[in-house]
């Protein structure tokens, strides 16, 4: 049996609630729910159980000091001129980038291919398709979004279960800072 995995940071409840409060104003958007709000450090994909166990053990070797992250601003990802994702960003953070690089190195040392996409730290708010309404009003309203910060002192390996109503993310292992 394979496991669809990713490594992420989960904002605390008060920040997730504040993000949920912003999610309106785009017709046909598939807004994320509370259980889906996270900042991906590395998408892993499908692994067989033994590979997943090896990765979980390897991730436990990462050491990092706690650091602050601040949710700031919003944006959109486009493909071929069409917006497909709305997101909340995070203020630039060297400790975040360092943690992401460590996670990437561990994933590669566990046998995964290197990530080809540039790390763009964000928290997905909504997924869109061709029938979704315009996003300009949402992006204008939330452009200066600043929800304050949180202390990052752990990261989590998650398993993703695809469902018609949206993915369900289950924490597998939580890794505290050391």
Any idea what the CATH number is for the domain that residue 115 is in? 3.90.1140.10
First to last CA, the chain: 32
Range of the domain at 100: 2-176
- Tokens describing residue 123: 């928290």
Confidence grade of residue 114 (pLDDT, cut at 50, 70, 90): very high
* pTM (two decimals): 0.94
Encode pLDDT of 29-51 as tens digits. 999 999 999 999 999 999 999 99
* Whole-number Å distance between alpha carbons of 129 and 122: 19
Q: Is 133 left (phi over 0), alpha (psi -120 to 50) or beta?
A: beta
Report how many domains make up the chain. 1
pLDDT per residue over 117-165, tens digit each? 999 999 999 999 999 999 999 999 999 999 989 999 999 999 999 877 7
């Amino acid at each position: 049996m394979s496991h669809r995995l990713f490594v992420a940071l989960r904002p605390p409840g008060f920040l997730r609630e504040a993000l949920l409060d912003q999610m309106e104003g785009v017709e046909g958007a598939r807004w994320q729910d509370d259980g889906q709000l996270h900042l991906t450090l590395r998408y892993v994909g499908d692994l067989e159980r033994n590979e997943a166990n090896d990765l979980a053990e390897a991730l436990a070797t990462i050491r990092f000091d706690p650091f602050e992250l601040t949710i700031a601003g919003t944006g959109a990802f486009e493909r071929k001129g069409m917006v497909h994702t709305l997101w909340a960003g995070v203020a630039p953070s060297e400790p975040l980038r360092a943690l992401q690089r460590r996670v990437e190195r561990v994933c590669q040392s566990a046998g995964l291919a290197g990530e080809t996409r540039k790390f763009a730290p964000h928290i997905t708010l909504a997924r869109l398709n061709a029938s979704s309404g315009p996003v300009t009003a949402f992006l204008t309203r939330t452009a200066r979004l600043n929800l304050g910060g949180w202390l990052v002192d752990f990261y989590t390996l998650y398993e993703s279960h695809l469902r018609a109503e949206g993915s369900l993310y289950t924490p597998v292992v939580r890794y505290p800072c050391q």
